[in-house]
Amino acid sequence: MASNLLTVGLAQTAPVWLNKQQTIQKTLDYITKASKKGCELVIFGEGYLPGYPFWLSLTDGAQFNSPVHKEIHAHYIRNSVQIEKGDLDSICALAAEKQIAVYLGIIERAENRGGHSLYCSLVYIDQKGIIQSVHRKLQPTYEERLTWSPGDGNGLQVHSLKEFTVGGLNCWENWMPLPRTALYGLGENLHIAVWPGSDFNTQDITRFIAREGRSFVISVSSLMQKSDFPKDTPHLDLILENAPDILANGGSCIAGPDGEWIIEPKLNTNDIITATIDFNRVLEERQNFDAVGHYSRPDITQLTVNRERQSILKLKQE
């Protein structure tokens, strides 16, 4: 396929909720499915591995010192991803075998922050199976702050993929103008937006970012139904008591650099959604607007980005 063309796959499915090993296996299965469809990039939703913390809004998650929430949180930590301990090795190996790049939403148990707090992270694995960036969500949204920690700017990075320059953000980060601008300034022209799963989120911002950035924008959301909660989930009865039948309906979609739909939001479709995009469309739409190029005024406004990985420890050599 020509270097200006890229076939992408949107993995719209449900995780095996809060089960790390089984969700890793499902991730491998969907990478294989995407490869068979000719995809050169496959994307999974926010926190897909091992799942979004739906219990918070269903079980009075803000109740302080609750044994129920402590038990669920401990279960979440045990099933979160420890990159340094090799949890993503099988996924990286398959990406290399299939020569397919992967954007994967994970719940990260970060070793360099003590190993007990959780981060909503977006991992980019290149076509050689190498992890090139781990972006920790800068600001968890509302009830997410009860279980996720704020991230840092280290993962505000972009990557070359054929003629494209690809970057990504988690969920409501996509509404933050300055992180978006940071990626634009790094040359992004294919923006990945990952979500827990709702067309409520994807139907407006996807087209807006595409039109603002004159870039392709791919929004990928997961699915989740009441029937998807595993039977061994701690305090499942309390979670299901107030859970609607559908918690995440998908809404994965693609907008072109003119802000028009290539694929409109897909609801309740469990599948790899595919499309082939053409880099030439980026060049065409940059003719009349480029937010960080010919339509910018860096002599008046500039953005400073701190990409240092944050840690409580700064160890000096003895």
Q: Within a domain: residue 109?
A: yes
What's the chain's average pLDDT? 96
Residue type, 290: D
Distance from the Cα of residue 169 to its chain's centroid: 6
pLDDT 10s digits, 26-80: 999 999 999 999 999 999 999 999 999 999 999 998 999 999 999 999 999 999 9
144 within a domain of the structure (yes/no): yes
pTM above 0.85, yes or no: yes
Domain assignment present for residue 10? The answer is yes
Which phi-psi region, left, alpha or beta, contains residue 300 (left: φ > 0; alpha: ψ -120 to 50)? alpha
CATH number of residue 81's parent domain: 3.60.110.10
**Is there a domain that residue 129 lies in?**
yes
Q: For the residues 162-176, what does the mean pLDDT come to?
A: 98
Is 136 inside any structural domain? yes
HSE-CB at 58 with a 13 A cutoff on CA atoms is: 18
Position 39 scores a pLDDT of 98
Q: Which of 151, 160, 164, 141 is nearest to 6 (CA)?
A: 164
Q: What is the helix, strand, coil percentage profile of the chain, to 5?
A: 30, 25, 40
Q: Rounded to an integer, what distance in angstroms lies between the CA atom of residue 209 and that of residue 230?
A: 36
Q: Check: CB of residue 123 under 8 Å from CB of residue 57.
A: no
The total number of structural domains that make up the chain = 1
pLDDT tens digits for range 299-309? 999 999 999 99
Average pLDDT (160-171) is: 98
Q: How confident is the model at residue 314 (pLDDT cuts 50, 70, 90)?
A: confident
Residue 70: how many other CB atoms lie within 10 Å: 11
pLDDT at 318: 63
pLDDT in tens, 117-128: 999 999 999 999
Average pLDDT over residues 264-282: 97
* Residue 13 falls inside a structural domain: yes
Q: Domain containing 242: what range? A: 5-152+220-253+261-282
Answer yes or no: is 306 within a domain.
no
Q: Is residue 60 part of a domain?
A: yes
What does DSSP assign to residue 307? -
Let me know: does 23 contact 52? Beta carbons within 8 Å. no
Percent of the chain residues topping a pLDDT of 90: 96
